[in-house]
Amino acid sequence: MTTPIIEIENMTKTYQLGGDVVHVLSNVSLRIEKGDFLAIVGPSGSGKSTFMNMLGCLDRPDSGSYFLDGREIARLNDNELAVIRNEKIGFIFQNFYLLPRLTALENVELPLLYRGVKTKERQKKAYECLEQVGLLERAHHLPSQLSGGQQQRVAIARALVGNPPILLADEPTGALDSKTSQEIINIMKGLNEQGHTIIIITHDWEVAKQAKRIVRIQDGHLFESRGDLVGISSVD
Amino acid sequence: MDIYLKAGVISLEFLQSIKMAMRSIQGNKLRSFLTMLGIIIGVSSVIVLISIGQGSSKAVTEQINQLGTNLLTVNVMNSDIVKLTVEDAEKFRKIAGVKDLAPVVSGRVNVRNGNTSTQVSLIGTTASYETVRDVQVNQGRFLSDIDVDYRQKIAVLGANTAQTLFGIDNPVGQYIQVDGTSFKVVGVLASKGGSMGQSGDDVILLPLSTAQRLIKNTNVQTLYIQGKNAEQLDWVMAEVERTLMRMFPDHQDSYSVFNQQDLMDTMSSVTSTMTMMLGGIAGISLLVGGIGIMNIMLVSVSERTREIGIRKAIGAKRKDILLQFLIEASVLSAFGGVIGIALGLAVGQVLSKAIGLSVSYSVSVSLVAFLFSLAVGIVFGVFPASKAAKLDPIRALRYD
Ligand SMILES: Nc1ncnc2c1ncn2[C@@H]1O[C@H](COP(=O)(O)OP(=O)(O)OP(=O)(O)O)[C@@H](O)[C@H]1O
Ligand SMILES: [Mg+2]
């Protein structure tokens, strides 16, 4: 069996709210293989985003171990984490989070800028990714000049441009109508077929059931349920 | 080879960062302008004040040098008590270190050419005056010893006097009336310009003996003594004072001895103190400008917390964020610096044209002002930038 791209053991995260301690994640474990397509579902406030931030190395757990592509994340300092985020992970957020003063093209270029890629090559790759999401003709538009669906496609292009093995999407279709969200999901599925590992948080069952695996978060625990139609894996 | 390649990439990225910084400065034009205003005012006042300071100290130095080189001036204030005769004056030649001297009797006279007349200062002196006071003859010749010996009725005109009486005609060889007596003009002096409030060109020079008779006064009012060199001047001055003390005991209040070098030192120390004070005041306003930049950068960091979070989420390191804000602050202040220099030079021009202030620009002052404004941007940008760089990515993303 190959090493999983993500391996989490007994991860715990608690928040102190006033006097109360909220156990958002208590001793969760999860393995994700290369090329997986995972949907994370759960009620609002259940800790989906918190978990996603752990996966994306934006936040550190209180305890437990996290191996990403064979590296123990807890041992890395802030700079090394920045490099991991840049090279291994592509983030897609619910609210797109594009930089408002940069054009679509410049937004897509950003991850490569922080990787130190030269301007010419950076632009070439950014154009390629914009083409892949079907937005080539909008390359020089500002985010405010784009529709929600177009903005999300720019965000996907930005997540893709560094060719990271993992794509993390926190409710990428939350702000979009069903037709547009299906287009976004189709792009994701295409990327999954190209070999990217995709983890997507969603409230939308129509979206979730298109994933290969569905993981539910509730009361700080993870439950893997069978997708109704696709992807059969055993619960850890 | 590899290092050069890397340096190339870095400088390219640097240009890119400057471009980005310009963009975010342009994004909020009014605020950026108001922020820069502090630096603009600071830099332009540095430029204007230092230019004026340097200009006036240059002007003062020039004027003092015009008096003559290695010059001591004995002024008789009360000629009723201190009757310095020409024979007394000539005794000072014996002091070692004295190169030459020129006694002067002076007064005011009316000069007339045909229908044109004017009041001018009379200087009755000897041929030595030319070298001692370092005057330049423009046309004709200066007074000679023979003129003094034979009490010749000849005159040398100051530039303004000649201009007033003769306009553009050549006065040399013409006759004028000085207090009713006819004098032949033998020379015209080159213009010296004003010297401390009085014009040195509204004069007429006559042979000493002739002047004594004309104004009915034989006593010397001013004695110019030229030293052989600057080093001995203090010693010569002490000797001159001692000799005067012997000649006129108990009357030190009635005459004075000036050393040109002392005057110069005093004036230049006054003007350099003034320049430094003006520069200091301007420097403080630059500092205030810097605090303005820090303030606006702090606001900008907290406004752009979300942006910082996004950048960190996609792989920006601390140093990337730090550099971004630092470059922004520096571009802002450097821009303000350039505008301030241009404004300062323009204001200096206007001042010198409008009210005749002497202004002296120097490239080094502009350069220092620019570097200082850049430094202000960097120094006051460090704190906001490091605040931005230290933001926790999750908190930054959630911030609204
Ligand atoms: N910085 C924080 N400080 C305190 N509590 C927090 C913090 N971040 C999250 N929480 C709490 O952790 C819990 C999980 O939040 P999280 O954002 O992960 O939920 P979610 O599943 O993504 O919800 P939603 O579907 O609404 O996005 C919530 O109860 C929230 O109040
Ligand atoms: Mg959430």
Strands (E), chain B: 71-76, 98-113, 116-125, 137-140, 154-157, 175-178, 181-189, 194-195, 198-199, 203-207, 222-227, 255-259
Residue A54: closest C-alpha in chain B: B394
A226: confidence class by pLDDT, cuts 50, 70, 90? low
Distance A225 CA to ligand 2 centre (A): 20
More confident position, A113 or B192 = A113
Q: Mark yes or no for CB contact B23/A101 under 8 Å.
A: yes
Residue A159: closest C-alpha in chain B: B314
Q: Mark yes or no for CB contact B314/A116 under 8 Å.
A: no
Asked if the model's pLDDT at residue B344 lies above 70, the reply is yes
Asked if the model's pLDDT at residue B86 lies above 90, the reply is no
Strand-strand pairing, A197-201 and A166-170: parallel
Residue B398: how many CB atoms within 10 A of its CB?
Answer: 13
Q: What number is the average pLDDT over the span A49-65?
A: 93
Q: Is A48 in the pocket of ligand 1 (CB under 6 A)?
A: yes
Q: Mark yes or no for CB contact B317/A79 under 8 Å.
A: yes
Q: Which residue's alpha carbon is nearest to atom 30 within ligand 1?
A: A45
Asked if the model's pLDDT at residue A125 lies above 90, the reply is yes
Per-residue pLDDT at A228? 43
Mean pLDDT of chain A: 90
Chain B: give the shortest CA distance to residue A111, in Å: 6
Asked if the model's pLDDT at residue A115 lies above 50, the reply is yes
Q: Mark yes or no for CB contact A78/B24 under 8 Å.
A: no
CA–CA separation, A227 vs B33, rounded Å? 58
CA–CA separation, B245 vs B239, rounded Å? 10
Contacts of B313 in chain A (CB under 8 A): 56, 58, 85, 91, 97
The two tokens of residue B236 are 């010569």
Contacts of B13 in chain A (CB under 8 A): 113, 116
Cα within 13 Å of Cα(B223), Cβ side: 30
Domain ranges of chain A: 6-230
Residue A115: closest C-alpha in chain B: B315
Least confident of A10-19, B194-203, B290-299, B322-331: B194-203
Q: What is the pLDDT of residues B203-262, one digit of tens each?
A: 999 999 999 999 888 889 999 999 888 788 888 889 888 988 888 888 788 888 888 777
Q: Is A49 in the pocket of ligand 1 (CB under 6 A)?
A: yes
Asked if the model's pLDDT at residue A212 lies above 90, the reply is yes
Q: Is A43 in the pocket of ligand 1 (CB under 6 A)?
A: no
Per-residue pLDDT at B50? 83
Mean pLDDT of chain B: 86
For the domain made up of A6-230, give the CATH fold: Rossmann fold (3.40.50)
A201: confidence class by pLDDT, cuts 50, 70, 90? very high
Q: What is the pLDDT of residues B167-202, one digit of tens each?
A: 888 999 999 999 989 999 999 998 876 554 456 788
Per-residue pLDDT at A229? 37
Q: What is the ipTM of this complex?
A: 0.91
The three-class DSSP label of residue B130 is helix
Q: What is the pLDDT of residues A84-100, one digit of tens each?
A: 999 999 999 888 899 99
Pocket test for ligand 1, best of A11, A26, A46, A55 (most atoms within 8 A of CB): A46
Strand-strand pairing, A63-68 and B98-113: unpaired
